[in-house]
Amino acid sequence: MAMKTNLEKRTGRREFLQAGAAGLALGVLPQGLRTAIAADPSLKIGVIGSGRIGSTLGGIWVKAGHEVMFSSLDIEHDKALAARLGGKARAGTSREAAAFGEVLLMAVPYAALPQVGKDLGELVKGKVVVDASNPIVARDGEVATWAREKGAGVASAELLPGARIVRAFNAIGFSRMAEAAQRPGERIGMPMAGDDVAAIAVASRLVREVGYEPVLIGPLAMGKYLMPGTPLAGENTPDKIRQVAASLK
């Protein structure tokens, strides 16, 4: 019972109760995250891919009080980003960020995801991974074609076996995400897809901190609709997202 109370504090009571209704037990949280939840309301977030989306979201989470480690193929860029953000921002290699994070943001070009899975496989296993990567055929080639045919969420789970994936931040541009927290009067939803109730609860909290209302559209298989060019792309109200998602099932 004490563990449940701590998770409510970390993720927000509303998200916890909504996630709990899905019927999965809190005990499935990995030990490191359970320990962190009990000790401190801030999270350790590892950003894998600190481009426009990774740096935007990571920067918002730093301002929210989280510890964020940025990583990319350019460590100097990450060091400069961390220095500019200050607070609890830091930089490291992708392996260091994956080991550091209780929660990981995956924001790499989809063509890089197979290699990320090979390089970081043991480090991401069992962790909450917010998957913001989109398979874009013109950019990512054959792996994007494969991922679109399989469904982006299911494909990501195959490339990152054992990770507790929630697809989110896929269908809205990074510039709009950067402004979301400054538009408190607007009720804009953030569609998400996932199978793991505890991971969904954690991701929901992070979505709210960016300035959106989390809207679970269904299991990870529904993640195929969370990308540009689908009916769920762009900014919509939570009710509109639910209406569109229901028509896609």
Going from the first residue of the chain to its last (249 residues), give the mean pLDDT of each consecutive group of 10, the final group possibly shorter: 37 45 39 50 94 96 96 97 97 98 97 97 96 97 97 97 97 86 78 96 95 96 94 94 92
User: CATH number, domain at 179?
Assistant: 3.40.50.720
Yes or no: say if 92 and 69 are a contact pair by the CB < 8 Å rule: yes
Q: Is residue 212 packed enough to be buried (19+ CB in 10 Å), middle (13-18) or exposed (0-12)?
A: buried
Nearest alpha-carbon partner for 232 in 183, 177, 186, 189: 189
Yes or no: say if 212 and 138 are a contact pair by the CB < 8 Å rule: no
Q: H or E element: which one contains 17?
A: helix 13-20
Q: Which residue range forms the structural domain that includes residue 197?
A: 2-248
- Residue 19, SS3? helix
Q: In the prediction, which pLDDT does 5 show? A: 29
> How many whole angstroms separate alpha carbon 169 and alpha carbon 210?
10
- 166 forms beta bridges with 130, 194
Instruction: Estimate to the nearest angstrom the gap between the alpha carbon of 108 and the chain centroid.
Output: 12
Q: In the prediction, which pLDDT does 105 show? A: 98
Give phi and psi for 22, each to the nearest 5. Answer: -75, -15
> How many whole angstroms separate alpha carbon 235 and alpha carbon 188?
6
Q: In the prediction, which pLDDT does 107 show? A: 97
Q: In the prediction, which pLDDT does 189 show? A: 94
Q: In the prediction, which pLDDT does 173 show? A: 87
Question: What are the structure tokens assigned to 220, written together?
Answer: 């990870």
Nearest alpha-carbon partner for 153 in 174, 171, 177: 171
Q: In the prediction, which pLDDT does 187 show? A: 81
Nearest alpha-carbon partner for 99 in 77, 127, 66: 127
Our count of domains for the chain comes to 1
Q: In the prediction, which pLDDT does 40 show? A: 55
Q: In the prediction, which pLDDT does 247 show? A: 94
What length is written for the chain? Answer: 249
Yes or no: say if 24 and 196 are a contact pair by the CB < 8 Å rule: yes
**Maximum alpha-carbon separation in the chain:** 50
Q: In the prediction, which pLDDT does 34 show? A: 52
